[in-house]
Structure 1
Amino acid sequence: MQPLNYRHLYYFWVAAKEGGIARAAERLDMAVQTVSTQVHELERALGYTLFRSAGRSIELTEAGATAARFAEQIFQLGEALPAAVREAANAQGVRLAVGISDALPKLAVRHLLQPAAQTPDLRLLCHEGDFGDLLAELALHRLDVVLADRPAPANPNLRVFSHRMGKASVAWYAPAALLEGVKGKFPACLAELPLLMPTTDSAVRSRLDDWLARNGIRPKVVGEFEDSALLATFGESGFGAFPATEWSFDELTRVRGLSLLGRCPEVVEHFYAISAQRKVEHPVVRQLLVQAEQSSA
């Protein structure tokens, strides 16, 4: 196959975004024939037809839709390149851009990133968001690593790799005022209390549901939260008892004054670092993985 001509790819990308050769030519202020020729050159180089007739207009073929997705990523990276180079040239110290899945407990994030705090002149950039969106940002190299409560799903279009960072069992907490009049011992007392739970998008939710069922508890769920920090805030305010990892114990009991209802070591949250390389190159991410492996050994 011939080397890819990025000028041809660019004209195709504009035509795909604009919905036709004529609209692309208008946007580019070029002749329709010129744009059409460039697109045909790209088709010849790739060996596949990228557009097909659809009435009086054209539409992308399956090959064209795939090419358009890759072109979108390529030119988004191109648009980000000047700012990234400028930032890298002016930056001091080590930069670490971390994507944090919104389902991941925030106190667990602090625990996972604690070893990085020892890095001299570290510049830590944390971005919280939807797991799928963060993986796309990682694949585009806008993030150095993504922290999540699950490994990346198998997807041939996303070349990312999951690395285990450890695990933590879950315990239940509540403010003392909420426990007045509660008669049962743990875990039976959970049937008497309003409960706050992570949403079903969270990997740990199904484990919690199974654990409650095994203990014969019919939960009164009064709130479900994607954001674990918001869940803990509502719990602290007295809306209900809630689960959190053992790593949160000191913060929730000593700092926030919540009561530990009990532990359920059978329910475990797993944590992963997801990178764009099988062999992690970023020195701080390597350090995090090594220390996580040592602490779990």
Structure 2
Amino acid sequence: MHSMNYNHLRYFWHVAHDGNLTRTAARLNLSQSALSVQIRKLEDRLGHPLFERRGRQLHLTEAGRIALDHADTIFGAGQDLLATLSRTGSPRKVLRVGALATLSRNFQIEFLRPLLGAQDVELVLRSGTSMELMQGLETLSLDVVLTNRVPTPDAMTDFMVHTLSEQSISVIGTPKRLDDTLTLSELLSTHPVIVPTSESPVRIGFDTLCARLGIDPILAAEVDDMAMMRLLAREDIGLAILPPIVVKNELVTGLLKEAQHLIGLTEIFHAVTVKRKFPNPLLSSLLERPVAAEGAWNQCASDRQKGLGNASVDT
């Protein structure tokens, strides 16, 4: 087996980070054609194209993204050779995770928990809109996207949706605000509520519930960020309509509590990937592992459910 020419790899590494062949050639004092030849030789050696041209821009192929990961490791190690030689073990692996900006941070932590603190793993975490994140999947700059919204089918992209968890939605509030003697209708009609914005599936379900109960709730806030809903609930401006995992720590400490009413709403969390010839090996264990719905307060919730028996939505 012939060895790799690392000069070819270095030229590729520079172009991949610059994203522009002409600019890289000028910086390295090479002609553009000479630089192109070096990259073609590397592609021939690896047996895969590393770039594809879209208009005037160069984009990494899937093989190119993998090659860049290895090149980063190889040339990064050269910058700290003594420290590298003093360590043992395999090269660090990288997982690039995108998450909807409004998604529960606690849920993201639960998904990533098996990799947290692993000495040979680097996590690259990005947040953004659905459009930004799906574009990241398409260009292979992300390995997986965490979301509570299934992406619109795209004829040009083969998105794969993995359902990770379906979590119940609860009425959350401070202990002094939640009166267990009130019915659900009385509770929601006498206290202001903090709800997701209208495009959220949870908000749609909540509005349907209120219509069925014949109540017109007082809205304290409409929020598109679960972290902000959590903070507003802690400020006691109203009752929040949330999955308990969002306020995991507050439920454990007693700062917030769940109402004793089942409202029959759930939120589904997904991981979205695209079909890849070389899938990231770190992903398989995460996608096969169910994400805990209620984490540290699971036993408390279980005890509450036992106390309710076969309870239904209060009217």
Shorter-normalised TM range: 0.5 to 0.7
Distance 2:185 2:125 in 1: 36
Q: How far did 1:269 drift?
A: 0.7
CA offsets 1:208-235 (integer angstroms, 9 cap, x no match)? 2222222333211121111110111111
SS in 2 for 1:97: strand
User: TM-score, normalized by length of structure 1?
Assistant: 0.65
More displaced 10-residue stretch of structure 1: 253-262 or 274-283? 274-283
Distance 1:290 1:204 in 2: 26
2:262 — aligned with what? 264
Q: How far did 1:288 drift?
A: 1.2
Preserved contact between residue 173 and residue 236 of structure 2 (Cα < 8 Å): yes
Q: How far did 1:186 drift?
A: 3.2
1:165 — aligned with what? 164
Matches within 5 A, 1:126-165: 126-165=125-164
Go from structure 1 to structure 2 and tell me whether the alpha carbon gap of 1:293 and 1:197 turns closer, same or farther (over 3 Å shift): closer
2:252 — aligned with what? 254
1:75 — aligned with what? 58
More displaced 10-residue stretch of structure 1: 260-269 or 224-233? 260-269
Which of 201, 225, 231 does residue 229 from structure 2 map onto?
231
Distance 2:121 2:251 in 1: 30
Go from structure 1 to structure 2 and tell me whether the alpha carbon gap of 1:284 and 1:203 turns closer, same or farther (over 3 Å shift): farther
Preserved contact between residue 245 and residue 269 of structure 1 (Cα < 8 Å): yes
2:86 pairs with 1:87:
no
Question: Which amino acid letter does the alignment assign opposite residue 288 of structure 2?
Answer: V
RMSD of aligned alpha carbons: 3.3
SS in 1 for 2:136: helix
2:217 — aligned with what? 219
Go from structure 1 to structure 2 and tell me whether the alpha carbon gap of 1:213 and 1:280 turns closer, same or farther (over 3 Å shift): farther
Q: How far did 1:293 drift?
A: 8.6
Q: How far did 1:294 drift?
A: 11
Question: Which amino acid letter does the alignment assign opposite residue 124 of structure 2?
Answer: L
Go from structure 1 to structure 2 and tell me whether the alpha carbon gap of 1:103 and 1:250 turns closer, same or farther (over 3 Å shift): closer
Question: Which amino acid letter does the alignment assign opposite residue 72 of structure 2?
Answer: E
Identity %: 22
Preserved contact between residue 171 and residue 242 of structure 2 (Cα < 8 Å): yes
Distance 1:262 1:208 in 2: 17
1:28 — aligned with what? none
Preserved contact between residue 230 and residue 246 of structure 2 (Cα < 8 Å): no
Go from structure 1 to structure 2 and tell me whether the alpha carbon gap of 1:255 and 1:155 turns closer, same or farther (over 3 Å shift): same
Question: Which amino acid letter does the alignment assign opposite residue 190 of structure 2?
Answer: E
Go from structure 1 to structure 2 and tell me whether the alpha carbon gap of 1:196 and 1:100 turns closer, same or farther (over 3 Å shift): same
Structure 2's unaligned 5+ residue stretches are 1-19, 21-52, 78-90, 294-315
Distance 1:201 1:250 in 2: 24
Preserved contact between residue 101 and residue 134 of structure 1 (Cα < 8 Å): yes
Preserved contact between residue 101 and residue 131 of structure 1 (Cα < 8 Å): yes
CA offsets 1:20-44 (integer angstroms, 9 cap, x no match)? xxxxxxxxxxxxxxxxxxxxxxxxx
Go from structure 1 to structure 2 and tell me whether the alpha carbon gap of 1:120 and 1:207 turns closer, same or farther (over 3 Å shift): farther
2:123 — aligned with what? 124
1:203 — aligned with what? 201
* Corresponding residue pairs, total: 225
Distance 1:242 1:280 in 2: 42
Distance 1:201 1:88 in 2: 42
Q: How far did 1:263 drift?
A: 4.5
Q: How far did 1:207 drift?
A: 1.5
More displaced 10-residue stretch of structure 1: 111-120 or 133-142? 111-120
Question: Which amino acid letter does the alignment assign opposite residue 128 of structure 1?
Answer: S
Which of 279, 286, 289 does residue 288 from structure 1 map onto?
286
